[in-house]
Structure 1
Amino acid sequence: MTAAKLVLATRNAHKVVELREILADAGLEVDLIGADAFPEVPDVVENGTTFAANALLKAHALAKATGLPALADDSGLCVDLLGGAPGIFSARWSGGRGDRANVELLLAQLADMAAEHRAAHFACAAALVLPDGRERVAEGRLSGTLRFEPVGDGGFGYDPVFEPVGLDRTLAELPAAQKNAISHRGRALQAMVPQLRELLDAGAPDA
C-alpha cells in the first residue's frame, strides 16, 4: 500500500524531524513532505489570536496551494507571571532575533522571580486540512517550570529552560523519543492520530 502524501506546513527543519518521528512512533505510514518542497507557496501571515487559529491559517493555505492534505501546528510557551505570554508571540519574543535571544529576554524578565513563581506550560494546536476545506484540530499541553539558565543541547526554542512537572531535567536534556512522548506537540499529534488514520484508510475523513 502506497503511503498517503501529507504536506507539513512548516519550514522549520527541527519541527519536520520531530513531527516525522512522532508520526512514525504512532505507526502511521505517511509520505511527509515539508513546505520547502513548494518554494512557490508564500509563507502565511500568522495573525490569528490563538494557536488553533494560526495552525488553521497555515494548513488551509498549504492545502489549497498544493492540493494535498496539510498538517500544521502552532505552539508556544505560556508563563503564568506574564499573563500567558509569550504565547502566540513565542517565536518573535525578542523581535525576530532567534531562539537564543528569545530565551535570554525571557530569563531577564523573570530574573528576580523565585523558583516557586516560575510556573509555565507549553501549548500546541495541530490542524489537519483537506484540499476540499474540511478540517480537524487537536490540542496538547505540557506543564512545568522555568530554570534560571539554559541546560541541555537538544530540542530547540525554549526547551533548555523548561523543566516538565515530575522531572529534574529540561526538555533539552531528554532523548528525542522521551520528549516526543510527553511534549505538547506530541500530545496534540497523538490526539490527531485517529483523524490521520481515517485519512489513510478512507482517503478523506467525513465531516
Structure 2
Amino acid sequence: MRIILATSNQGKVREFQAWIGEHEVLAYSDVIEPFEIEETGLSFKENALIKARAVYERLGDKNVTVLSDDSGISVPALGGIPGIYSARFAGANAGAKENLNKLIQTLKDNALTKTPAFYTAAIALVCAKGEFCVHGWMHGEAIAGARGNNGFGYDPMFIPEGYEQTLGELDESVKKAFSHRARALELAHIVLKSLK
C-alpha cells in the first residue's frame, strides 16, 4: 500500500514510517507541488479530514491512501483553549515558543499554577474505500512554567498522568510509548490492515 501524508514535515514522515513500516510512506510534497490547505473545521477530526481530502483529491490517484493528523492541547479550566488553535494560539505566524509562552501567561493571568489538561490527536485516512478517522488522547496537567528541552510545542509545560516530569524533561522514547499520536497511530494501523 502506498501511503501519502498530508504534510511536508519529514519528521512526521519518519514517525509514521516507524509505525507503518510495511507500507511506503511519503510526504505529499514529495509527489506534488505543495499547496495551501485552509483548516476551517471546528474539531480535530474535521481539520484532519479536510487536509486528507484535499490532498487525495489533488493527487487524483485511486491507488493511494492519504493520512493526515491534527492535534493540540486543551485546558478545561480555560474553556478548552487552545484546542484546535494550538498551532496558531499566539497568532497565524507565531512559532512554538510564542504559543507556549502565551499559554503559560494565560494560566498565570487566571491564577493557575497547575491544572488538568490533555492532548488530542485525530488521524484521518482517505482512500477509494472511504473516509475514516481515529483519535488518541494523553491526559495530565499543564503548569504555569516551562521545564526541559525535549519534545516540542507545549511539551515543557505538560506533565503526563503518572509522572512528575514534564514531557520536556522526559526522554522522547517514554513519550512515544503513550503519547496521543502513538495511541491514534495504533488505531490507524488497525484501519489500514482492514483496508488491504
TM-score, normalised on structure 1? 0.85
SS at match of 2:119: strand
Pair 38,9 (structure 1): closer, same or farther in 2 beyond 3 Å: same
- For 1:19, the aligned partner's letter is F
Equivalent in 178, 188, 198 of residue 184 of structure 2:
188
Pair 30,174 (structure 1): closer, same or farther in 2 beyond 3 Å: farther
- For 1:114, the aligned partner's letter is T
Query: How many pairs align?
Result: 190
Q: Answer whether contact 1:7 1:35 (CA < 8 A) is retained.
A: yes
CA distance in 2, matches of 1:135, 1:153: 37
Equivalent in 72, 75, 85 of residue 76 of structure 1:
72
String of CA shifts for 1:145-178, please: whole Å, max 9, x gaps. Answer: 1123222222211111111011112222333332
1:43-192 mapped onto 2 (5 Å cutoff): 43-66=36-59, 67=61, 68-95=64-91, 96-111=93-108, 112-115=111-114, 118-130=115-127, 132=128, 134-192=130-188
Pair 178,33 (structure 1): closer, same or farther in 2 beyond 3 Å: same
SS at match of 1:110: helix
The runs of at least 4 consecutive aligned structure 1 residues that moved more than 6 Å come to: none
Quote how far apart the aligned CAs of 1:89 are.
0.4
CA distance in 1, matches of 2:189, 2:129: 19
Q: Answer whether contact 1:41 1:65 (CA < 8 A) is retained.
A: no
User: Do structure 1's residue 32 and structure 2's residue 25 form an aligned pair?
Assistant: yes
- Aligned-pair identity (%): 37
Pair 16,174 (structure 1): closer, same or farther in 2 beyond 3 Å: farther
Q: Answer whether contact 1:142 1:184 (CA < 8 A) is retained.
A: yes
String of CA shifts for 1:45-104, please: whole Å, max 9, x gaps. Answer: 000001000000111111222222100010111001111110000000000310000000
Structure 2: tracts of 5 or more residues without a match: none
Structure 1: tracts of 5 or more residues without a match: 203-207
Quote how far apart the aligned CAs of 1:39 are.
4.8
CA distance in 1, matches of 2:143, 2:8: 29
SS at match of 2:80: coil
Equivalent in 3, 7, 11 of residue 6 of structure 1:
3
Q: Answer whether contact 2:138 2:179 (CA < 8 A) is retained.
A: yes
RMSD: 1.7
Q: Answer whether contact 1:14 1:156 (CA < 8 A) is retained.
A: no
Quote how far apart the aligned CAs of 1:133 are.
6.3
SS at match of 2:168: helix
Q: Answer whether contact 1:18 1:180 (CA < 8 A) is retained.
A: no
CA distance in 2, matches of 1:175, 1:30: 27
